Structure 1
Amino acid sequence: MNAYVVLKTLHILSSTLLFGTGLGTAFFMWFTHRTGEVAAIATATRLTVRADFLFTTPAVIAQPLTGYALMRLMGLDLHAPWLQAAMLLYLFTGLCWLPVVWLQWRAAQLAAAALRDGNALPAAYFRYMRIWFALGWPAFLSVIAIFWLMVAKPPLWH
């Protein structure tokens, strides 16, 4: 097996993990949040934080590393407009994702404390979830745009 096949496989697998884990955990966390059931919310938020640590974080690291290696190996121009747009969107996605990681970690802590103490979820939990939800949409749409750019490689500007 040659380096190109290994790198491309790792790049595709890490993008799949990034997108799939993000979409899956967001779906379950949001719809569990909407139930208002503290025990379920505590479990969903805890597992979302764990999934981000185990799957999303390694994929976030692998994407630029394998992408850069593929660029070099394929002789792609770093200044190609589609590639620059993809990299900017990736950075933008990261700027959305970093606060999301903190927000869901804090939401998990607040839900666990509410469950442990037999209390309702505090106002801060709901504030964090509104911001989490709001940051998720631009990140999600940016990842879809990155997929399109990687496949289509359109001539965006010259």
Structure 2
Amino acid sequence: MTYLWLKWIHILSSTLLFGTGLGIAFFMWMAHRRGDARLIADTARHVVIADTVFTAPAVIVQLATGLWLTRLLGLPLGLFWVKAALLLFFVIGACWLPVLWLQVRARDLARECVATGQPLPSSYHRAMRWWFWLGWPAFLSVIAIFWLMVTKPA
């Protein structure tokens, strides 16, 4: 595979990853703000599917193409901006993996409320608080990686 094709795939997957992440966060947060268990359950169901179909493969493609590009260009992994980007990539993963579980938990709790006619429990609100706060370091880390990729500071 040529450098330009690999770079194109890397950029395309980063766009998919960032866009899907923002879209998922927006729709999940808007559903949560409405407080309607049926809407939350339905939105969370779609969010979990989107993370499975789009986000997870994009994460794998990002890491694979990023490492492949460094190898093609002969860049050492110890180079500051490469090392920083890899560290941030793993920070994002450390935030995203619990978020996946929290989205499934929120979906399941909302489904249970729909089935029983009960209001959303405190465990749902706790899960969404964690979901919200884990999203910020992940989002800021993605922005920082974009900055590193563009500027490549020494």
Shorter-chain TM-score bucket reads over 0.9
Matched with 1:23 is 22
Amino acid at match of 2:94: L
Matched with 1:80 is 79
Q: Deviations over 1:102-123 (max 9, x none)?
A: 0011111111111122221111
Q: Deviations over 1:75-126 (max 9, x none)?
A: 1122110111111011011001010000011111111111122221111110
Of 81-90 and 117-126, the range deviating more from structure 2:
117-126
How many Å separate the matches in 2 of 1:94 and 1:34? 26
Matched position secondary structure for 1:18: helix
Of 70-79 and 84-93, the range deviating more from structure 2:
70-79
How many Å separate the matches in 2 of 1:112 and 1:17? 29
Normalising by structure 1, what TM-score?
Answer: 0.94
Matched with 2:94 is 95
Amino acid at match of 1:10: I
Percent identity between matched residues is 60
Amino acid at match of 1:31: M
How many Å separate the matches in 2 of 1:20 and 1:98? 18
Matched with 1:136 is 135
The unaligned stretches of length 5 or more in structure 1 are none
Number of aligned residue pairs: 154
Deviation at 1:3, TM superposition (A): 1.9
Matched with 2:119 is 120
How many Å separate the matches in 2 of 1:28 and 1:127? 18
